[in-house]
Amino acid sequence: MEEMIKVFLLGKEYTVPATLTIMDAMEYAGYKLVRGCGCRSGFCGACAVVYRIKGSTDIKVCLSCQTHVQEGMCVGQIQSFPLNKRSYNMSDIKPVDNIIGQLYPEIYGCIGCNACTKGCPQGLNVMQYIAYAQRGEYEKCAHASFDCVGCNICASRCPAQISHSAVGLLARRLTGKYLSPHCEHLEERVAEVASGQCTAAVEAIIGKPLEEIKELYNKREIEK
């Protein structure tokens, strides 16, 4: 017999298998997930949830596709967290004059609580890359935030209301456009794709069974 546990999903009590992730448990309970489900098994950042274990006062956050249910878990969804994003044109800004600080001055309100880092499901040192942005070290900020998936769990926990993922994204854009070495082979590859030279190869892959595609991916030749 499979072990069953009691959980509370969006305010209702359910009994579900203990082996399920939160996302799987919601579907097991009858919820039809159309939004806030994304890739379902990776790191797209779409399935953020907030939860509390019954009897505890701690509120925690996670991605529901990678977190397993626990006895007495009370779950609520965070389908979209309203970030304070700034508008800018990459052709009009440069990585000088403290541009990130001008667009996102709230980064200087960081109190060093580290709640952003503690909440990151990717294990990123979020507070550190915000510190890089404060000092104008945009390349370091770009590399430290590279694996961010924009779930915005960090922002949901920030008392200074910093839009961490937006700051990291701007740092990566500035680095890619202005600070990284020019990459000729990338431009050549993009031109090949745009001219249709890769269309037949892509269509051939799309037509293959999923297991064969996985096998090709796992055994692909990785350029050094």
User: What pLDDT, on a 0 to 100 scale, did the predictor assign at position 114?
Assistant: 96
pLDDT digits 0-9 by tens, 153-203: 999 889 999 999 999 999 999 999 999 988 888 889 999 999 999 999 899
Closest CA to 156 of 68, 57, 48, 74: 48
Q: What's the pLDDT band for 61 if we cut at 50, 70, 90?
A: confident
The bridge status of strand 48-53 relative to strand 73-77 is: antiparallel
Is 39 within 8 Å of 118 (Cβ atoms)?
no
User: What pLDDT, on a 0 to 100 scale, did the predictor assign at position 79?
Assistant: 72
Q: How far apart, in whole angstroms, are the C-alpha atoms of residue 186 and residue 173?
A: 16
pLDDT at 224 over 90: no
pTM: predicted TM-score of the whole model, two decimal places:
0.75
Percent with pLDDT over 90 in the chain = 64
Q: Which residue has the higher pLDDT, 219 or 15?
A: 15
Q: Return the C-alpha torsion angle 125, 131, 134, 139, nearest 10.
A: -60
User: What pLDDT, on a 0 to 100 scale, did the predictor assign at position 42?
Assistant: 67
Q: How far apart, in whole angstroms, are the C-alpha atoms of residue 73 and residue 22?
A: 9
Q: How far apart, in whole angstroms, are the C-alpha atoms of residue 164 and residue 160?
A: 11
Q: How far apart, in whole angstroms, are the C-alpha atoms of residue 210 and residue 208?
A: 6
Closest CA to 53 of 81, 27, 72: 72
User: What pLDDT, on a 0 to 100 scale, did the predictor assign at position 78?
Assistant: 80
DSSP string across 163-202: -HHHHHHHHHHHIIIIISPP-HHHHHHHHHHHTTTTHHHH
pLDDT at 41 over 90: no
Helix axes 164-174, 126-134, angle to 10 degrees: 60
Structure tokens at 101: 């600080």
User: What pLDDT, on a 0 to 100 scale, did the predictor assign at position 171?
Assistant: 97
Closest CA to 127 of 101, 105, 109, 102: 109
Q: What's the pLDDT band for 38 if we cut at 50, 70, 90?
A: confident
Closest CA to 104 of 172, 171, 180: 171
Cα 48 off chain centre by = 9
Map out the domains of the chain with their CATH numbers: 4-77 (3.10.20.740), 99-179 (no CATH), 193-218 (no CATH)
User: What pLDDT, on a 0 to 100 scale, did the predictor assign at position 83?
Assistant: 86
